[in-house]
Structure 1
Amino acid sequence: MNVHFWGVRGSIPTPLSSQQLRLKLIAALQRIKPEDIESEEAKEKFISSLPWWIKGTVGGNTPCVELTLNSGEKVVFDAGSGMRAMGKFSDPPADGRYHLFMSHFHWDHIQGLPFFDAAYNPTIIFEVYSPFPDMKEFFAKQMIAPYYPVDFSVIEKHFNFHLVKPGETIEIGDASITCAKMSHPGDSYSYAVCEGGKKFVYATDTELSTKDFVHTPEKSAVFENADVVLIDSQYTVEEALRKVNWGHSAFCYAIDFAAEWKAKKMYMFHHEPTYDDRKLSTLLDAAIWYANYISGGSLDIAIACEGDSFDL
């Protein structure tokens, strides 16, 4: 399967500000030497040598992750503002059918759907999966006047809704998908996709606690021995302690969780909107150190960046 990040920011879309761009330029200029501008090749080499937080960005769109299965089917997790970009730059599924799995229905996870081009194409079918029985109503409510000019009734004919339950297995092509309930205000659900002997886990919006480390059949089916787990790592510990019951986790709690469930690689996800790229780079460095300390190097750590993709 191929995994592509279209939106990785938490809570609210967060565009790169002019001040943040200015600080990136200053940081780059502080590193430059005369030989770095002697030729086009030297300039390219200099830019390539810059830290990722200077030459790039994690992005500001809210959650949307696209999986292209080995069999060609498209599985999408959440419909945050990143879904708009997916509609502009991703190839539609060959079979004309999206399989959209919803973790929950807070605004930052649904606000991209009204701006997704394919939603208005009657030849495209959307299979929507969620443990929330009112999923259709939740989509429709954000598209009523005066909040949006197009009513959901205009597009609902090519949306099919499927109620799923923890412990149930959904088969799509050669992939199997299961879910588990997590701690979040109003509830949220994590999903595991297994295909070709590989497991990818989407675990956004979760406030981890001791009960999440208990090996229940439901949790084991989703988290045990994942090749990659994409998980809510929104806060530092200090901020997590100030925001108890807000529904998100400190990055070190996410690392403890991934290590407990024997994941091979963890991506930090659902980034705090007030954290700029430099702050997130600092957190990534701390996360890598901590993961090496507690796992002896068995858990690889990365940070989810908008536009990045990988094969699994």
Structure 2
Amino acid sequence: MQIYFWGVRGSVPTPLSPQQVQSKIMAAIQRAKPEDLVNAETRAKFVSSLPSWIFGTAGGNTACVELVNNDTHIILDAGTGLRAMGKARTCPSNYHLFFSHFHWDHIQGFPFFDHAYNPKCHFEVYSHFDDADEYFWDQVAEPYSPPTVGKTLARDIHFTRIYEDEEFNIDGIKINSHKMRHPGDSYAFSFENNGKKFVYATDVELKSTDYQGKNEGEAVFKNADVIIIDSQYTVEEVYRKENWGHSSFCYAIDFAVYWNIKKVYLFHHEPVYDDKKLNSILEAARWYAQYINHSDIEIFLAKESQEIDL
């Protein structure tokens, strides 16, 4: 299984601001030495040596993750990252599209997905919500979209109702799901193939009771190789924003430790956090894992264009 990140932000799209670009340039200049600027080779070496938060960016598109296994193409949520995916990919004959829930930041990319207008491309949509098709089409109804969008978008689409903790199979991939704590509900999914398990668990407000002797969701989470998990807030912020439906990095790590998950990708980044702040959260998360004597867990920051090979 190959996993690709197309959108990693939470709540709203967050493009880099002019001030953030300027801050990156200033931070780079302050690190430069005369010997770094001698020629094209030394300049290239210097740039490549810069910290990732200066040289790159986590990205500003909302949630969209792609899973590819042989000829099976699975899309997890249709945030604005889906638009970028449509520009980078050729259209397969069939997509399997899973929605964790139908908040705007998880659906707003679909009307801008090039493949959605290809009559040869079929979409099979999976959701736990009875009115999923109504929610889906409402966003392209007038006056929210031009009338031509609703008439031409995804003419070959089918909605499948799925159920929590009820296993099913797509092309040899075993799939399970579990309801998470989030206003209006949200669902995590696991995908297993050839002895590897991948979990997508965005939009969840974790509590300590979620990993204290409980086995709810065991089929989804236990012994996963990789989890992409909501870690939108800092510890201080998660207390101020109780019941907003999101987690801090330390709860995400505790959750992964409880379920013996090997790799954690911090996801659904807070819109007001710039790349420097996100990097500091990653460093704090890795420190926390060492503090609780679980330095064996690998922790990463989810970034657009990043790939995972399982």
- Smaller-chain TM-score bracket: over 0.9
- 1:198-209 equivalences under 5 Å are 198-209=196-207
Indicate the SS of the match to 2:67.
Answer: strand
Q: Which residue number in structure 2 is paired with residue 189 of structure 1?
A: 187
- Amino acid in structure 2 at the alignment position of 1:109: H
**Kept after mapping to 1: 8 A contact 2:286/2:295:** no
Deviations 1:281-311 (A, max 9, x none): 1111000111122243221100000111121
- 1:31-180 equivalences under 5 Å are 31-69=31-69, 71-93=70-92, 96-149=93-146, 150-180=148-178
Moved more, 167-176 or 125-134: 167-176
Q: Which residue number in structure 2 is paired with residue 236 of structure 1?
A: 234
Indicate the SS of the match to 2:87.
Answer: helix
Runs of 5+ unmatched residues, structure 1: none
**Kept after mapping to 2: 8 A contact 1:167/1:218:** no
Count of residues in Structure 1 that have an aligned counterpart in Structure 2: 309
Cα distance in 1 for partners of 2:155, 2:183 equals: 31
Shift of 1:211: 3.9
User: What RMSD in Å do the two structures reach over aligned CA positions?
Assistant: 1.2
Cα distance in 1 for partners of 2:248, 2:34 equals: 42
**Kept after mapping to 2: 8 A contact 1:166/1:218:** no
- Amino acid in structure 2 at the alignment position of 1:91: T
- Amino acid in structure 1 at the alignment position of 2:178: A
Cα distance in 1 for partners of 2:293, 2:116 equals: 44
Q: Which residue number in structure 2 is paired with residue 310 of structure 1?
A: 308
Q: Which residue number in structure 2 is paired with residue 20 of structure 1?
A: 20
Scaled by the length of structure 2, the TM-score of the pair is: 0.97
Percent of paired sites with the same residue: 55
Runs of 5+ unmatched residues, structure 2: none
Q: Which residue number in structure 1 is paired with residue 11 of structure 2?
A: 11
Shift of 1:207: 0.3
Q: Which residue number in structure 2 is paired with residue 30 of structure 1?
A: 30
- Amino acid in structure 2 at the alignment position of 1:199: K
- Amino acid in structure 1 at the alignment position of 2:255: F
- 1:277 matched to 2:254? The reply is no
Deviations 1:183-241 (A, max 9, x none): 00000000001011111100000000134225655510000011000000000011110
Shift of 1:151: 4.5
**Kept after mapping to 1: 8 A contact 2:111/2:153:** no
- Amino acid in structure 2 at the alignment position of 1:79: A
Cα distance in 1 for partners of 2:32, 2:128 equals: 53
Cα distance in 1 for partners of 2:127, 2:212 equals: 24
Shift of 1:33: 0.6
Indicate the SS of the match to 1:181.
Answer: strand
Cα distance in 2 for partners of 1:56, 1:310 equals: 18
Cα distance in 2 for partners of 1:231, 1:294 equals: 19
Scaled by the length of structure 1, the TM-score of the pair is: 0.96
- Are the structure 2 counterparts of residues 217 and 286 from structure 1 closer, same or farther at C-alpha, using a change threshold of 3 Å? closer
Indicate the SS of the match to 2:165.
Answer: coil
- Amino acid in structure 2 at the alignment position of 1:205: D
- 1:223 matched to 2:221? The reply is yes
- Amino acid in structure 1 at the alignment position of 2:128: P
**Kept after mapping to 2: 8 A contact 1:252/1:287:** yes
Indicate the SS of the match to 1:157.
Answer: coil
Cα distance in 2 for partners of 1:308, 1:154 equals: 32
**Kept after mapping to 2: 8 A contact 1:259/1:295:** no
Cα distance in 2 for partners of 1:35, 1:191 equals: 50
- Amino acid in structure 2 at the alignment position of 1:152: G
Shift of 1:142: 0.7
